[in-house]
Structure formats: structure tokens, C-alpha cells
């Protein structure tokens, strides 16, 4: 059974204080690892897909990396608008997504 574990559960940052979120996973036949952002009361918003170890992707202050066992989401110089829950999910060959519990990030001005 696919397993996805995210840490920490919650992260409180000062504006400008960079940090990283962790997503460790076990899956049979990884097709892709996905990062989403979810704001309260809304559906998840797609951020990145990573397919192979060593791959990196960036979008504004966010950078996602992938190894064979885990992925990191780095937030550089965060702003209050980066406050959200960040979800990690793995996709196996049947295209279904298995989600982690998420990391709730709060950025204080």
C-alpha cells in the first residue's frame, strides 16, 4: 500500500524566514510526485509534478526537489500570502493519487 508522510504538521515562519517541508513516501512504481497548495475552504491548487530522483522545479518562492525516498518543498523568503496547507501526493501506475496529511504553513508579517 502506498504511504505518504509529511512533516512537520505545522510550521510558523516569520516573513523572510526560509524553511523546508518534507514528504517521505513508499510506493510501488512511482509515476509522479505532486505538490498542491490548499487554502481554507478551497480545492487543492496544483503546484509541481516531479518524476525522477534529482529533478527540481521552481515557481516564485517555491522549489521542489525529489529523491528516491522523499521530496522537499523549499520556501525562500516567504510572504504572508504563502500561508496555506501544502499537500504532497504520489501517483502510481493506475493514475490514482495517495495524499499525505499536509503541512500547514503560517507566515507572520
Partner 1 sequence: SAVISQKPSRDICQRGTSLTIQCQVDSQVTMMFWYRQQPGQSLTLIATANQGSEATYESGFVIDKFPISRPNLTFSTLTVSNMSPEDSSIYLCSVMGGGGGTDTQYFGPGTRLTVL
Which secondary structure element, helix H or strand E, spans residue 45, and what is its range?
Answer: strand 45-50
- Minimum distance between the CB of residue 58 and partner 1, rounded to whole angstroms? 17
Nearer to partner 1 by Cβ, of 18 and 59: the residue is 59
- 53 three-state secondary structure: coil
Nearer to partner 1 by Cβ, of 89 and 105: the residue is 89
Binding site for partner 1 (CB under 8 A): 31-32, 34, 36, 41-46, 49, 87, 89, 91, 95-102
- Minimum distance between the CB of residue 91 and partner 1, rounded to whole angstroms? 7
Number of Cβ within 10 Å of residue 55's Cβ equals 16
Number of Cβ within 10 Å of residue 105's Cβ equals 21
CB 11 within 8 A of CB 19: yes
Nearer to partner 1 by Cβ, of 7 and 18: the residue is 7
Amino acid at each position: 500500500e502506498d504511504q505518504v508522510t509529511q512533516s512537520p504538521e505545522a510550521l510558523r515562519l516569520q516573513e523572510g524566514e526560509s524553511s523546508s517541508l518534507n514528504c517521505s513516501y513508499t510506493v510501488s512504481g512511482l509515476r509522479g510526485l505532486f505538490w498542491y497548495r490548499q487554502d481554507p475552504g478551497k480545492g487543492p491548487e496544483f503546484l509541481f509534478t516531479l518524476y525522477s530522483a534529482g529533478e527540481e522545479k521552481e515557481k516564485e518562492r517555491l522549489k521542489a526537489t525529489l529523491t528516491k525516498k522523499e521530496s522537499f518543498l523549499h520556501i525562500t523568503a516567504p510572504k504572508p500570502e504563502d500561508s496555506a496547507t501544502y499537500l504532497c501526493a504520489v501517483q502510481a501506475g493506475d493514475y490514482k493519487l495517495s495524499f499525505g496529511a499536509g503541512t500547514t504553513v503560517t507566515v507572520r508579517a
